[in-house]
Structure 1
Amino acid sequence: METLLVGGAVRDRLLGLPAGDRDWVVVGSTPEAMLAAGFRAVGRDFPVFLHPDTGEEHALARTERKSARGHRGFVVDAAPTVTLEEDLGRRDFTINAIAERDDGRLVDPYDGQRDLEARVLRHVGPAFAEDPLRVLRAARFMARFAPLGFTVADETRALMRGMVAGGELADLVPERVWQELVRALRSQRPSAFLQTLRDCGALAVVLPEVDALYGVPQRPEYHPEVDTGVHVELVCDMAAKLAPGDDEVGFAALVHDLGKALTPADELPRHIQHEQRGVAPVRALCERLRVPAAHRELAVVACREHLNVHRLAELRDQTVHDLLARCDGFRRPGRVRQLAVACEADKRGRAGLEDHPYPQGEELVRLRDAAAAVTGADIAHPDLKGPAFGEALRKARIAAIGAARTLRRDPG
């Protein structure tokens, strides 16, 4: 029996990246032997075990044979006779098919080190085409590694296009699509995820509402990049810069302009009421991918309110209050902060405007805090009950917003 470090831990060390989770492959063992050694079985579709001391995942070396459509349609062989090279051969990309022995020697039968040096994402073999999820994994890896100069190998790109054309992606389950999307949104360059999927035709399959934005023109005086799809790419990258790792903000950035795909042709390049038009497709996308409530709620708020936040200085005090109330901002201050960041990403996610200041974000949070400082205890009175109490609290908070604005304009 031999245990080797494998996959992302080896890849990232060779790239000089911070160490993440470590995964291990065990060659020449059996489930019974693993359990006898104190490991705990956790794998549902194939034999994976948790180490009794470290809790790290140890998987028996295995091969996979396609038996049905979809990413779960495989017959797994994890017999002790499966070799390390056979296990590495069923992996997705050459850069993930490198193992490390306990003495530091590398096992690299598919030249993953060469592709790491060349900054190329290349599939290991033809079995790549048997798992449609790997198209999304390729796009997600590009979201992480494009800043390092990685590109997708021509033959891998051609294989991905063939998989999409053959209808393989129709079998993906929503949870797995969402999982890959979220990981891309946490990465440094989510735009590379969108570009990679669009290049092979997959974006129209998994995110048709986003794909529909490409080619939709915007007014160049506000959007020098003109193309709405390009704008969304820039916004997603800006969100990743402003709120690293916050996939709720990232998702809001991704879907904030979906309504522009629904603008009547005779209104282009203007997009009148695109915020209201966008709410329905945002909700439809969230329903289809079974998006968690926190992501969905922030996304709807950002879609509906981003223009209001942009013109915050023009809004009346009571309009600012009602905007905050619609966002549930008095109970959820974090949502207002996330909305402010998403709106800043929208404003700065435009060609040539990346470094422009966005005082509206800070001001929105400041006015929310000023209004929220007024509580029910501040207006308590025996005669104030029910709707009258709520209206009194609203007026007091509106007054607080006005006072905060006056103080900002005339601090003396």
Structure 2
Amino acid sequence: MQIFKVGGAVRDRLLGRPVNDVDHVVVGASAEDMLAQGFRPVGDDFPVFLHPQTGEEYALARTERKSGKGYGGFTFHASPEVTLEEDLARRDLTINAMAEDDSGNLVDPYGGQRDLAAKILRHVAPAFAEDPLRVLRVARFAARFAPLEFTVAKETLGLMRQLAEQGELEALTPERSWKEISRALMEPRPDVFIQVLRDCGALARLLPELDALFGVPQPAEHHPEIDTGIHLLMVLRQCAEHAQPLTVRWACLLHDLGKGCTAEEDWPRHIAHETRGLALIEAVNARCKVPRDCAELALLVGEFHTHCHRARELRPNTLLQMMQRFDVFRRPQRFVEFLAACEMDARGRLGLEQRDYPQRDYLLGAAEAARAVAVKPLLDKGLQGAALGKALEDARRDALKTYKARADEGTDVRPAPASPEGVPQASAPGRSS
């Protein structure tokens, strides 16, 4: 029995990056051998075991053969006769197909170290084209290593295009697709993930609503970059630079879908693109089985992002209606994330990346003023049920009128310092802080 470190642990050590997860491959052993040494089996699909002390994964060396469509259409063969080189041959990229023995000696039969030096993401073997999930994985690695100037090899991009054209991507389950997409959006350059998918034709297959944005013009006075697809990439880059959470990044990804169905004769204007995009956002959320927090924020950002951009023009009643839609009185953090998405949208424009976004503080202050309205005085008056609800709504509207009047006069209405959860602390109605 021989044990080797494999994959990302070897790659990241050679790159001088932190090594978080360590995977091992075991050569010359059977499942019975592993069980006899106290290893615990994981699942039924693969011969993978957990170390009895460290909990790290140890997989028996195996080969695989295509047996059907999609990510799951493979049969695996694991036995003591499978060599390390055979196991490494089934991996996606050369930089992930290296191994290291207990003495630190590198085993690199497919040129992974060479491609690390050349900063190239290259497939190991033609069998790469048998697994559609690898299209998403390569695009995700491109997003991860773009700051190091890695690029996808031309021939690898060709195999990715082949998978897209053959309809293999449609065989991916929503769960697998979402796992890769969500991980890619949290990489240092999520915009590169989208660009690589578009370059190989996969974006049109997986997310045609996004692909439709490229080539669609916007008014140059508001969007110097003009192209809606380019704007999308710029917004994603801002999300990464400002370390936004997944909810915000997903909402930013989908916020302009309505512009993709504007009639060409109406270009570059996109009247009512916010409401026209809602059905598209819902369709993408459903198709990808997006978690509820991401799906809800995406719909709210799609519908209200232009409200946010013109926040100072909104009347108190419109402000209150928007806050009720966001449920800022029970879920203030969701409103904070909405404002972050709108700020990324505003910054994702050519030459305007560093421009301040005062709408954020203005709306945080408005939410603070509305949330600060106390319910107890209304209860003390004996109000209940619908009467209490109406009185509370009127009081909040009055608080927003006062807040807007003070802001219009130039009074400092910046929100109070944030709590540890990132939500402004409530203060007395109408009080600036």
Equivalent residue letter for 1:64:
E
Structure 1 residues 62 and 259, CA, compared in 2 at 3 Å: closer, same or farther? same
Equivalent residue, structure 2, for 1:118: 118
Aligned counterparts of 1:39 and 1:368: Cα–Cα separation in 2 = 54
Tell me whether 1:221 sits opposite 2:221 in the alignment. Answer: yes
Give yes or no for contact 1:62–1:86 (8 Å, CA) kept in 2.
yes
* C-alpha deviation, 1:167, in angstroms: 1.8
Equivalent residue, structure 2, for 1:87: 87
TM-score, structure 1 length as denominator?
Answer: 0.96
Equivalent residue, structure 2, for 1:314: 313
* C-alpha deviation, 1:296, in angstroms: 0.4
Aligned counterparts of 1:146 and 1:172: Cα–Cα separation in 2 = 25
Equivalent residue, structure 1, for 2:49: 49
SS of the residue corresponding to residue 49 of structure 2 reads strand
Aligned counterparts of 1:352 and 1:334: Cα–Cα separation in 2 = 30
Equivalent residue, structure 1, for 2:429: none
Deviations 1:47-74 (A, max 9, x none): 1111222211111111101111111111
Equivalent residue, structure 2, for 1:410: 411
Equivalent residue, structure 1, for 2:24: 24
Equivalent residue, structure 1, for 2:387: 388
SS of the residue corresponding to residue 380 of structure 1 reads helix
Aligned counterparts of 2:35 and 2:374: Cα–Cα separation in 1 = 58
Structure 1 residues 80 and 358, CA, compared in 2 at 3 Å: closer, same or farther? same
* C-alpha deviation, 1:374, in angstroms: 2.2
Aligned counterparts of 2:149 and 2:141: Cα–Cα separation in 1 = 12
SS of the residue corresponding to residue 222 of structure 1 reads coil
* C-alpha deviation, 1:45, in angstroms: 1.6
Equivalent residue, structure 1, for 2:352: 353
* C-alpha deviation, 1:13, in angstroms: 1.7
Equivalent residue letter for 1:256:
H
SS of the residue corresponding to residue 279 of structure 2 reads helix
Aligned counterparts of 1:378 and 1:104: Cα–Cα separation in 2 = 72
Q: Note the 1:301-380 alignment, pairs <5 A.
A: 301-380=300-379
* C-alpha deviation, 1:407, in angstroms: 5.1
* C-alpha deviation, 1:324, in angstroms: 1.1
Aligned counterparts of 2:246 and 2:377: Cα–Cα separation in 1 = 37
SS of the residue corresponding to residue 45 of structure 2 reads coil
Deviations 1:75-113 (A, max 9, x none): 101101111111111000000011111211111111101
Aligned counterparts of 1:148 and 1:3: Cα–Cα separation in 2 = 31
Deviations 1:347-393 (A, max 9, x none): 00011111111111232223212321224224213542222211111
Give yes or no for contact 1:234–1:350 (8 Å, CA) kept in 2.
yes
Equivalent residue letter for 1:200:
C
Deviations 1:12-33 (A, max 9, x none): 1211222221111111111122
Between the two proteins, the alignment pairs up a number of residues equal to: 411
* C-alpha deviation, 1:264, in angstroms: 2.1
Deviations 1:251-304 (A, max 9, x none): 000000000012122221101110011111000111111111111000000000
* Higher mean C-alpha deviation, range 311-320 or range 252-261: 311-320
Aligned counterparts of 1:25 and 1:365: Cα–Cα separation in 2 = 52
* C-alpha deviation, 1:163, in angstroms: 1.7
Equivalent residue, structure 2, for 1:235: 235
Aligned counterparts of 2:64 and 2:95: Cα–Cα separation in 1 = 19
Tell me whether 1:62 sits opposite 2:40 in the alignment. Answer: no
Equivalent residue, structure 1, for 2:297: 298
Runs of 4+ aligned residues of structure 1 deviating over 6 Å after TM superposition are: none
Equivalent residue, structure 2, for 1:8: 8
Tell me whether 1:103 sits opposite 2:98 in the alignment. Answer: no
Q: Note the 1:159-178 alignment, pairs <5 A.
A: 159-178=159-178
Equivalent residue, structure 2, for 1:191: 191
Give yes or no for contact 1:243–1:249 (8 Å, CA) kept in 2.
no
Tell me whether 1:156 sits opposite 2:173 in the alignment. Answer: no
SS of the residue corresponding to residue 192 of structure 1 reads helix
Aligned counterparts of 2:358 and 2:235: Cα–Cα separation in 1 = 17
Aligned counterparts of 1:43 and 1:176: Cα–Cα separation in 2 = 17
Give yes or no for contact 1:310–1:343 (8 Å, CA) kept in 2.
yes
Equivalent residue letter for 2:216:
V
Structure 1 residues 399 and 155, CA, compared in 2 at 3 Å: closer, same or farther? same
Give yes or no for contact 1:9–1:22 (8 Å, CA) kept in 2.
yes
SS of the residue corresponding to residue 225 of structure 2 reads coil
Aligned counterparts of 1:367 and 1:54: Cα–Cα separation in 2 = 51
Equivalent residue letter for 2:190:
P
Aligned counterparts of 1:263 and 1:410: Cα–Cα separation in 2 = 41
Aligned counterparts of 1:195 and 1:109: Cα–Cα separation in 2 = 31
Aligned counterparts of 2:400 and 2:105: Cα–Cα separation in 1 = 65
* C-alpha deviation, 1:406, in angstroms: 4.9
Aligned counterparts of 1:60 and 1:378: Cα–Cα separation in 2 = 69
Aligned counterparts of 1:96 and 1:375: Cα–Cα separation in 2 = 58
* C-alpha deviation, 1:190, in angstroms: 0.9
Equivalent residue, structure 1, for 2:426: none
Aligned counterparts of 1:362 and 1:122: Cα–Cα separation in 2 = 46
RMSD over aligned CA atoms reads 1.5
Structure 1 residues 37 and 405, CA, compared in 2 at 3 Å: closer, same or farther? farther
* C-alpha deviation, 1:405, in angstroms: 4.3
TM-score, structure 2 length as denominator?
Answer: 0.92
SS of the residue corresponding to residue 191 of structure 1 reads helix
Aligned counterparts of 1:195 and 1:237: Cα–Cα separation in 2 = 12
Structure 1 residues 370 and 37, CA, compared in 2 at 3 Å: closer, same or farther? farther
